[in-house]
């Protein structure tokens, strides 16, 4: 028995699994970490694992974690792990290919190893590592802090998809997108066990975290229905960030409380399940002392009234409100540099080539969709023919504009010159498969067509198809500006790395062999996409943050990753900023002070122009509200040099 096993204890009952999911920014990680601390303090050997590529576990616990099971300091019986997709890929590749080197000719293993260097491998490897923990009996409890909803649904569908693909491939040509089915045949039994565990309410608890707003409620309801189609039942709801009644003396908080109460009635109707209410707290949820307090709130008796101020402001802070700039804790509201409107205009409007691609990204819940939509509306008002595209699997453009927006480009009702669309993964897959097979019919043998069909039925095809759809949007010349509302940070980085990876991958896929029309067209599109993404005269990346440590540091890390790929950040928007004039109650003052400690350092840290969008008293949904928000964010400044004035 290993030292770690001795520490945990030799005898273990069946491990219980808890999944936390929901829209980005609703507090999944905070609730998951608080639950992990609570369970460990109750004496249960607990592991918390994040499947989010932009993991924040280390930030929340205030210690290095990484791609191994790390004990959490000061909390016995608690371990944490951040699945690193790159390291998981290397481990998976070696686990599959390593034994083959002992029994197969070197030329065969070289081909198989090359196939396992495809972008597909990254997805299945991270997923495979996730499934490993459902086979591990070392812990009493394993908590999965998942990526935002759309990607979580994808993750939980993969056991079903891969098990089916392996079975079908074994029955027919024996070929998968990553080579011979024999190479991954052994995984089927593991994936089948994972399916059983996910569907077993005696082993798995699925918790959705939401806030009392339209989009999180809509997204959770949609996700629960999708999970039900694969036999996974949601059993618990946490409504987070509720404004306490004693904070309603503040006029802004009072209006938002009225909005929240309206949604609470809707939540009770839509979600007939156990529901826990969590208040908005005056501090950031970081460090085990605060997490322990949050755990006590989360698992309190329903009759208890949760405190929202008092001891929170004095205990367990551990310096976690230090400003990002590291230059002290004074109020920076008056020390920010004046807005560089010339720089903002240059970043958002077409350059010498006559077009501009705008990518809005950042941590889930920072308001990417809202700021992207507001910007698209403003540019269209100024006379630029503008297309708004969502690449987020959990897109809510339809809610933002209060009209149906699907895979086909659609005019936005009421705003001339503005069009919108979203990348629908299922439609993109069907379109991609049919295009590849149509081009191949009449050119290849029946056996080759069958091999292509099997390859295209792989779960990997979904990523390739959605990515290719994205590339097609980057190369459109029908619009002055194309605005991309992207998925949360980690998945956006994955999407933007793909042009570089797929550039080589198309050379080894059956469906895009060198010399074919598909290969030539695909490679030309990828080359064009790479060039465009790296050209600041055509492309601007905008990070949307709210002034707290985690969204700022996540965005900064992402900007550094993009920089290594030759992609520069052009603009930062600080969103959901509490206005100074509303200060009145202890909770508001605490939250306001927390934000100000970060605001002053954002622009300095990123070194690009920064815009500030205040928190409004209602959600920004529908074209009239989007136009109001556009006027607040941009005023008339963006209109200097507008296209309409140039006679277009």
DSSP string, 466-477: HHHHHHHHHT--
Work out the burial of residue 105: count CB atoms within 10 Å of its CB; fewer than 13 is exposed, 13-18 middle, 19 or more buried. exposed
Asked if residue 399 and residue 285 are part of one domain, the reply reads no
Whole-number mean pLDDT of the chain?
Answer: 79
Asked if residue 345 and residue 307 are part of one domain, the reply reads no
Asked if residue 295 and residue 162 are part of one domain, the reply reads yes
* Higher-confidence position of 55 and 145: 145
Q: How confident is the model at residue 122 (pLDDT cuts 50, 70, 90)?
A: low
Whether 10 shows a pLDDT value over 50: the answer reads no
CATH code of the domain covering residue 383: 3.40.50.300
30 in active site:
yes
Judge whether 309 and 250 are in contact, CB under 8 Å.
no
Tell me which of 15, 30, 474, 489 is the catalytic residue.
Answer: 30
Tokens 């003396």 identify what position? Answer: 249
Please, which residues bridge with residue 48 across strands? Answer: 80, 143
Tell me which of 50, 52, 122, 370 is the catalytic residue.
Answer: 52
Q: Picking from 78-87, 327-336, 443-452, which range would have the lowest pLDDT averaged per residue?
A: 327-336
* Predicted pLDDT of residue 109: 65
Tell me which of 15, 550, 569, 585 is the catalytic residue.
Answer: 550
Judge whether 344 and 608 are in contact, CB under 8 Å.
no
* Predicted pLDDT of residue 56: 83
Tokens representing 94? 């070696």
Asked if residue 236 and residue 352 are part of one domain, the reply reads no
Whether 209 shows a pLDDT value over 90: the answer reads yes
3-class state of residue 253 by DSSP:
helix
User: What are the C-alpha distances in Å from 509 to residues 112, 117, 524, 609?
Assistant: 12, 12, 16, 43
Q: How confident is the model at residue 497 (pLDDT cuts 50, 70, 90)?
A: low
pLDDT tens track for 479-488: 999 999 986 5
Asked if residue 306 and residue 347 are part of one domain, the reply reads no
Instruction: Say what percent of the chain tops pLDDT 90.
Output: 39
* Higher-confidence position of 240 and 167: 240
Count of alpha carbons within 13 angstroms of residue 472, beta-carbon side? 15
Domains contained in the chain, number: 2
**Residues 526, 499: Cα–Cα separation, whole Å:** 5
Tell me which of 23, 28, 188, 605 is the catalytic residue.
Answer: 28
Mean pLDDT, rounded, for 463-476 = 78
Mean pLDDT, rounded, for 438-465 = 70
25 in active site:
yes
User: Which of 297, 313, 329 represents a domain boundary (last residue)?
Assistant: 313
On whether residue 384 sits in a domain, the answer given is: yes
On whether residue 105 sits in a domain, the answer given is: yes
Tokens representing 221? 């309801």
* Predicted pLDDT of residue 449: 73
On whether residue 612 sits in a domain, the answer given is: yes
**Residues 207, 17: Cα–Cα separation, whole Å:** 11
Q: How confident is the model at residue 645 (pLDDT cuts 50, 70, 90)?
A: very low
Instruction: Say what percent of the chain tops pLDDT 70.
Output: 71
Count of alpha carbons within 13 angstroms of residue 455, beta-carbon side? 25
Asked if residue 217 and residue 89 are part of one domain, the reply reads yes
On whether residue 559 sits in a domain, the answer given is: yes
Q: What is the 3-state secondary structure (H, E, C) of 394-459?
A: CCCHHHHHCCCCCCCCEECCCCCCEEEEECCHHHHHHHHHHHHHHHHCCCCCHHHHHHHHHHHCCC
Tell which residue, 330, 315, 284, has the closest CA to residue 597: 330
The CA-based diameter of the chain, rounded to the nearest angstrom, is 78
User: What are the C-alpha distances in Å from 66 to residues 55, 58, 81, 82, 126?
Assistant: 9, 8, 6, 5, 14
Among 229-238, 370-379, 479-488, which range has the highest average pLDDT?
370-379
* Predicted pLDDT of residue 307: 46
Asked if residue 412 and residue 544 are part of one domain, the reply reads yes
User: Which of 294, 313, 332 represents a domain boundary (last residue)?
Assistant: 313
**Residues 359, 347: Cα–Cα separation, whole Å:** 11
* Predicted pLDDT of residue 335: 53
Asked if residue 163 and residue 230 are part of one domain, the reply reads yes
On whether residue 381 sits in a domain, the answer given is: yes
Whether 17 shows a pLDDT value over 50: the answer reads yes
* Predicted pLDDT of residue 321: 35
At 274, which helix (H) or strand (E)? strand 274-279
Q: How confident is the model at residue 88 (pLDDT cuts 50, 70, 90)?
A: confident
* Higher-confidence position of 232 and 387: 387
Q: How confident is the model at residue 584 (pLDDT cuts 50, 70, 90)?
A: confident
Whether 191 shows a pLDDT value over 90: the answer reads no
Asked if residue 379 and residue 303 are part of one domain, the reply reads no
**Residues 310, 525: Cα–Cα separation, whole Å:** 58
Asked if residue 156 and residue 88 are part of one domain, the reply reads yes
Whether 295 shows a pLDDT value over 60: the answer reads yes
On whether residue 461 sits in a domain, the answer given is: no
Tell me which of 22, 27, 364, 490 is the catalytic residue.
Answer: 27
29 in active site:
yes
pLDDT tens track for 386-399: 999 998 766 779 88
Asked if residue 368 and residue 226 are part of one domain, the reply reads no
Tell me which of 15, 22, 24, 29 is the catalytic residue.
Answer: 29
> Structure pTM?
0.81
User: Which of 313, 333, 351 represents a domain boundary (last residue)?
Assistant: 313
Among 102-116, 306-320, 526-540, 624-638, which range has the highest average pLDDT?
624-638
Q: Picking from 133-137, 247-251, 460-464, which range would have the lowest pLDDT averaged per residue?
A: 460-464
pLDDT tens track for 586-618: 999 999 999 999 998 898 899 999 999 999 999
On whether residue 452 sits in a domain, the answer given is: no
On whether residue 603 sits in a domain, the answer given is: yes
At 604, which helix (H) or strand (E)? helix 586-606
Domain carrying residue 168? 12-313
Asked if residue 187 and residue 257 are part of one domain, the reply reads yes
* Predicted pLDDT of residue 343: 93
Whether 537 shows a pLDDT value over 60: the answer reads yes
């Amino acid at each position: 028995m290993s030292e770690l096993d001795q520490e945990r204890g030799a005898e273990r009952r069946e491990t219980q699994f808890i999944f936390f999911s929901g829209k980005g920014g609703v507090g999944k990680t905070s609730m998951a970490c608080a639950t992990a601390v609570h369970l460990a303090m109750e004496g249960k050997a607990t592991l918390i694992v994040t499947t989010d590529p932009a993991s924040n576990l280390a930030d929340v616990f205030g210690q290095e974690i990484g791609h191994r099971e790390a004990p959490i300091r000061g909390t016995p019986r608690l371990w944490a792990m951040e699945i690193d997709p790159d390291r998981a890929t290397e481990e998976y590749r070696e686990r599959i290919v390593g034994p083959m080197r002992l029994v197969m000719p070197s030329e065969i293993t070289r081909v198989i190893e090359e196939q396992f260097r495809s972008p597909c491998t990254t997805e299945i490897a991270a997923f495979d590592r996730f499934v490993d923990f459902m086979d591990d009996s070392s812990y009493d409890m394993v908590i999965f802090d998942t990526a935002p909803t759309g990607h979580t649904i994808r993750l939980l569908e993969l056991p079903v998809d891969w098990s089916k693909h392996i079975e079908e491939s074994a029955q027919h040509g024996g070929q998968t997108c990553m080579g011979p089915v024999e190479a991954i045949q052994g995984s089927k039994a593991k994936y089948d066990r994972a399916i059983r565990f996910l569907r077993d309410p005696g082993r798995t608890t699925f918790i959705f975290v939401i806030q009392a707003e339209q989009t999180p409620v809509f997204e959770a309801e949609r996700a629960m229905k999708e999970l039900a189609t694969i036999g996974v039942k949601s059993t618990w709801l946490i409504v987070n960030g509720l404004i306490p009644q004693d904070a309603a003396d503040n006029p802004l908080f009072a209006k938002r409380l009225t909005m929240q109460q309206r949604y609470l009635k809707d939540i009770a109707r839509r979600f007939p399940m156990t529901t826990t209410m969590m208040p908005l707290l005056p501090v950031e949820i970081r460090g085990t002392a605060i997490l322990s307090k949050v755990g006590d709130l989360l698992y309190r008796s329903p009759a208890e009234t949760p405190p929202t101020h008092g001891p929170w402001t004095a205990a367990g802070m551990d310096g976690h409100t230090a400003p990002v700039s590291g230059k002290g804790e004074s109020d920076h509201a008056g020390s920010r540099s004046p807005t560089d409107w010339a720089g903002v205009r240059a970043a958002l409007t077409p350059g010498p080539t006559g077009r501009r691609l705008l990518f809005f990204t950042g941590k889930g819940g920072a308001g990417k969709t809202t700021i992207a939509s507001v910007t698209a509306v403003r540019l269209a008002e100024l006379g630029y023919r503008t297309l708004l595209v969502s690449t987020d699997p959990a897109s809510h453009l339809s809610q933002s504009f209060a009209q149906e927006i699907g895979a086909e480009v659609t005019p936005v009702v009421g705003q001339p010159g503005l069009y919108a669309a979203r990348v629908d993964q299922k439609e993109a897959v069907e379109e991609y498969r049919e295009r590849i097979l149509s081009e191949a019919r009449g050119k290849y043998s029946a056996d080759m067509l069958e091999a292509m069909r099997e390859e295209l039925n792989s779960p990997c095809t979904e990523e390739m198809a959605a990515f290719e759809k994205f590339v097609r949007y980057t190369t459109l010349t029908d619009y002055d500006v194309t605005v991309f509302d992207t998925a949360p940070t980690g998945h956006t980085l994955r999407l933007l790395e793909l042009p570089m990876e797929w550039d080589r991958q198309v050379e080894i896929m059956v469906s895009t062999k060198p010399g074919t029309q598909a290969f030539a067209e695909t490679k030309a599109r990828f080359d064009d996409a790479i060039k465009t993404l790296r050209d600041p005269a055509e492309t601007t990346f905008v990070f949307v943050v709210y002034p707290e440590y985690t969204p700022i540091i996540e965005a900064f890390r992402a900007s550094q990753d993009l920089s290594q790929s030759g992609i520069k950040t052009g603009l930062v928007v600080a969103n959901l900023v509490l206005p100074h004039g509303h200060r009145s109650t202890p909770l508001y003052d605490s939250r306001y002070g927390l934000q100000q400690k970060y605001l002053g350092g954002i622009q300095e840290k990123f070194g690009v122009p920064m815009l500030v969008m205040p928190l409004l008293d209602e959600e920004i949904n529908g074209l009239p509200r989007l136009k109001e928000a556009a006027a607040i964010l941009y005023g008339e400044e963006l209109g200097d040099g507008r296209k309409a004035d140039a006679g277009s």
